[in-house]
Amino acid sequence: MKLIRNIVCVLSILTCHITTAQREFNLCDSTFYTLNADTTVIAGKRQLYISTGLDVSPLYDFTSPDTNEYIRDFDIIKPNLWYTVVGIRYIGGPTSLYKSTNQGQSWALDTNHYNASNVQFLSPSFLQSINNVQHLGGDTIVMFMDYYISGIIYSTDAGATWTKWFDNLITHYQGMLECDNKYYIFGYEGDAFRPWMFGFDKSLLFTTDSAGAWNSFSNMSNHPRCSTSNDTINCIYASNNLTRCATYNYFKSFIDSICTPLVVSNLEKEIFQIYPNPTEQFLTIKTPSSEPSRITIYNAIGEIATNYAVNKIGEEINIDVSNQPSGIYFIRIEYKKSLHNFKYVKK
């Protein structure tokens, strides 16, 4: 069983991580998501697996009679909300969105996005072709849709209802990357355009198009003409003919190169105190007596459980975690432009 896991990760060497992964048929069509210290969900080409320790066992099989269909995307939004997108290998083709509310034990077809509002004159095929599902945190999810006439729809209630944000011609939207106070939307190449990426202020997320801000045919706005011009000031271009995973990695590497770095420190135990660990009710965090810090607590699937700004000098913080489910949690402390990581167990 260990061999299965190794094969899966070798096939997905470019995308074997827990962040947004771009998948491509027969090239990088596997990835994994860590549920906790002992359990990992592996999304293979057509099947999901559960890995516990050295054992790997099948979880669910999405194989269909069409040999061109595979798992195009797999996402864990919440502990009891998982999504799998299954579709053919060809861009712009139809897809099916499956939802599980019992951690992958059973799946049902989810068509809530078919009823997205603000779709205006778009054809039904637009909502039936999902390129990527991305969780922005909390109950906010975005979907990147279709090819050539491509666009973005979003939900702020964990997928119950959907709204079209915007759509444009001559593009193939795939996802967003985050950097400081900006998001960057990226797309893949198509028949008449190259792969590109552009950034916008986070305050513009889901804003309306009243001033034409998201019209790709206005080069004076926040959404530049990346597809139909060579705007090297507002657009970041990748080389043509890259694989989808290589294109994603190009854009991700670019973002990593321009974002404000947070250096991981090796002095955590000397300047921070976190106790008791494990804990049942309260977690105490003592911060150093030099400058304010920011503390963020994440659960095992990366959702923010607590976000706390430390305003006092040398503050001792008592956080009530009694309502948190039992399990492993991760603490990130930002202090003096450095990043400190800890782990605690909620009994």
Q: Assign 3-class secondary structure to the chain.
A: CHHHHHHHHHHCCCCCCCCCCCCCCCCCCCEEEECCCCEEEEECCCEEEEEECCEEEEEEECCCCCCCEEEEEEEEEECCEEEEEEEECCCCCCEEEEEECCCCCCCEECCHHHHCECCCCCCHHHHCCEEEEEEEECCEEEEEECCEEEEEEEECCCCCCCEEEEEEEEECEEEEEEECCEEEEEECCECCECCEEEEEEHHHCCCCCCCCCCCCCCCCCCCCCCCCCCCCCCEEECCCCCCHHHHHHHHHHHHHHHCCCCEECCCHHHHCEEECCCECCEEEEECCCCCCEEEEEECCCCCEEEEEEECCCCCEEEEECCCCCCEEEEEEEEECCEEEEEEEEEC
In sign, the C-alpha dihedral spanning 254, 90, 112, 40 is negative
- pLDDT, one tens digit per residue, over 256-272 is 888 866 555 555 445 77
Instruction: Tell me how far the alpha carbon of residue 302 is from its chain's centroid.
Output: 10
Architecture of domain 263-346: Sandwich (2.60)
- pLDDT, one tens digit per residue, over 159-206 is 999 999 999 888 999 999 998 889 999 999 988 788 999 998 888 899
Provide φ and ψ at 271, rounded to 5°. -115, -10
CA distance 110 to 106: 13
- The pTM score is 0.71
Architecture of domain 2-258: 6 Propeller (2.120)
Q: Is residue 227 over pLDDT 70?
A: yes
Per-residue model confidence (pLDDT) at position 58: 94
- pLDDT, one tens digit per residue, over 297-322 is 877 656 677 777 776 656 778 888 88
CA distance 119 to 309: 40
Strand partners, 334: 294, 339
Domain range list for the chain: 2-258, 263-346
